[in-house]
Amino acid sequence: YCFSSILLDGSINNTEEDDEDDVVDLAANSLLNKLIRQSLVESSHRVEVLQKDPSSPLYSVKTFEELRLKEELLKGIYAMGFNRPSKIQEMALPMMLAHPPQNLIAQSQSGTGKTAAFVLAMLSRVNTLELFPQCLCLAPTYELALQTGRVVERMGKFCVDVQVMYAIRGNHIPRGTDVTKQIIIGTPGTVLDWCFKRKLIDLTKIRVFVLDEADVMIDTQGFSDQSIRIQRALPSECQMLLFSATFEDSVWQFAERIIPDPNVIKLRKEELTLSNIRQYYVLCENRKDKYQALCNIYGGITIGQAIIFCQTRRNAKWLTVEMMQDGHQVSLLSGELTVDQRASIIQRFRDGKEKVLITTNVCARGIDVKQVTIVVNFDLPVNQAEEPDYETYLHRIGRTGRFGKKGLAFNMIEVDKLPLLMKIQDHFNSSIKQLDPEDMDEIE
């Protein structure tokens, strides 16, 4: 079945809420990324390493065997289909598994193998003969905590005596319970509660502390302070690890406050570029006109798959209905869907079940659909000041230089928006050609 039709049947009459632009929710996007991820994300950059002690030798590994892991852990890794460490893991794992333990701050984009790395570190440091919490991992949301837990369960499949417990809201543990699970994954508020108020976890016995998704974490009110309160109660010999997909100054400042004497590992992201995208614009009078132009383009060239971006939910819905009524197979991805529903729509689109995906900004970032040849900006991305939103434009149509196939981008522009488009053209110093929608010869 198709979510978009369910959605449309139920809600064609627009509510006020539909007028709201979808706001980007960092935690939801991160979860979505995890749900739709199928394999490692590559990077052509080198891993940058900053050692706490520059005179100590720097180890990297090319195989998991070199790490001298417990047999059952190695079995778990291979059962997950991992053949060799990812780029970031090559450098991070030897540091994370070193004796004595070393602290680490690591930054690389999502999908590069950070979670797998720290799960491996936690599993390898658990002493199964001891029945109390030994590893503590903080995550920004309940759902993200569960995702990490799933990785622990899969990788630890053969480590039968290792158990996980979730310190998340709604997981009610009776007072006085003796927590015997060795790995605790939870959100800062609940973990704090379990440690200080309910005394379910003895922080002085924690050996590995992981702070995952630091960038998402600091975005949530109160989480930085709560995390720091937890960290302050850990023993000095506890290994402390922090991971982030991005590294603005704010993340860095937080990382330095919470991780003492760290090694630092960074893997830069593949840059987005417009250089292998042919960009066009079509001048239109109004929304109907834009739709007509879209149909002409659609009829005029052979299209693999297309993503169409709208600025508001209402526009996205309107367009979806129009296209469906004209017999096109489209699906709609917008912010009122749950993350699971979004993941399922993206998966269907990836499988080619729908040829057109209509969406608002929610999916502008991070979703990677390699076979998409065409991107349409049904509305130009603008910010609240009605200025062009350059970054969003780049994320919508840009490709990574290394993996990018040639692409086509169409901008549907009302006459009064033309100056905005010209600003975009100047900003990226790349040409956006005008297109007569009646004459598609120009493209092919």
Please tell me whether residue 340 adopts helix, strand or coil conformation: helix
Binding track over 260-289 against ligand ADP, x by CB under 6 A = ------------------------------
Footprint (CB under 6 A) of ligand ADP, residues 57-96: 80, 82, 85-86, 89
**DSSP 8-state symbol, 233:** T
CA distance 209 to 240: 5
Taking the least distance from each CB to ligand ADP, the nearer of 244 and 311 is 244
Neighbours of 328 (CB within 10 A): 15
Comparing CA positions, the residue from 121, 117, 186 lying closest to residue 149 is 186
> Closest approach of Cβ 86 to ligand ADP, in Å?
4
Among 43, 107, 112, 361, binds ligand ADP (CB under 6 A): 112
Query: 175 and 186 in contact (C-beta within 8 Å)?
Result: no
Residue 146 binding ligand ADP, by CB under 6 A: no
Cα 46 to chain centroid distance, Å, stands at 21
| Span interacting with ligand ADP, options 4-12, 111-119, 172-180, 311-319, rule CB under 6 A | 111-119
Tokens in use for 187?
């959100």
Residue 114 binding ligand ADP, by CB under 6 A: yes
Burial of 241 (0-12, 13-18, 19+ CB in 10 A): buried
108 beta partners: 267
> Closest approach of Cβ 344 to ligand ADP, in Å?
17
Residue 113 binding ligand ADP, by CB under 6 A: yes
> Closest approach of Cβ 273 to ligand ADP, in Å?
23
Among 11, 18, 24, 37, binds ligand ADP (CB under 6 A): 37
Tokens in use for 314?
């209402």
Taking the least distance from each CB to ligand ADP, the nearer of 115 and 134 is 115
| Span interacting with ligand ADP, options 7-15, 106-114, 347-355, 378-386, rule CB under 6 A | 106-114
| Span interacting with ligand ADP, options 112-120, 134-142, 332-340, 358-366, rule CB under 6 A | 112-120
Tokens in use for 441?
């010869």
Comparing CA positions, the residue from 268, 216, 254, 222 lying closest to residue 24 is 216
- For the chain, the straight-line distance linking the first and the last C-alpha, in angstroms and rounded, comes to 35
Residue 124 binding ligand ADP, by CB under 6 A: no
| Span interacting with ligand ADP, options 35-43, 94-102, 249-257, 336-344, rule CB under 6 A | 35-43
Cα separation values, 368 from 2, 342, 402, Å: 21, 13, 14
> Closest approach of Cβ 93 to ligand ADP, in Å?
9
Residue whose pair of structure tokens reads 């630092």 in the numeric block: 264
Taking the least distance from each CB to ligand ADP, the nearer of 29 and 377 is 29
Taking the least distance from each CB to ligand ADP, the nearer of 113 and 188 is 113
Strand pairing of 208-211 and 135-138? Answer: parallel
Taking the least distance from each CB to ligand ADP, the nearer of 137 and 184 is 137
Q: Which residues have CB under 8 Å from 195's CB, separation 6+?
A: 201, 202, 203, 230, 233
Taking the least distance from each CB to ligand ADP, the nearer of 41 and 308 is 41
Site residue total, ligand ADP (CB under 6 A): 15
* Residues found near ligand ADP in the complex (CB under 6 A): 37, 39-40, 80, 82, 85-86, 89, 110-116
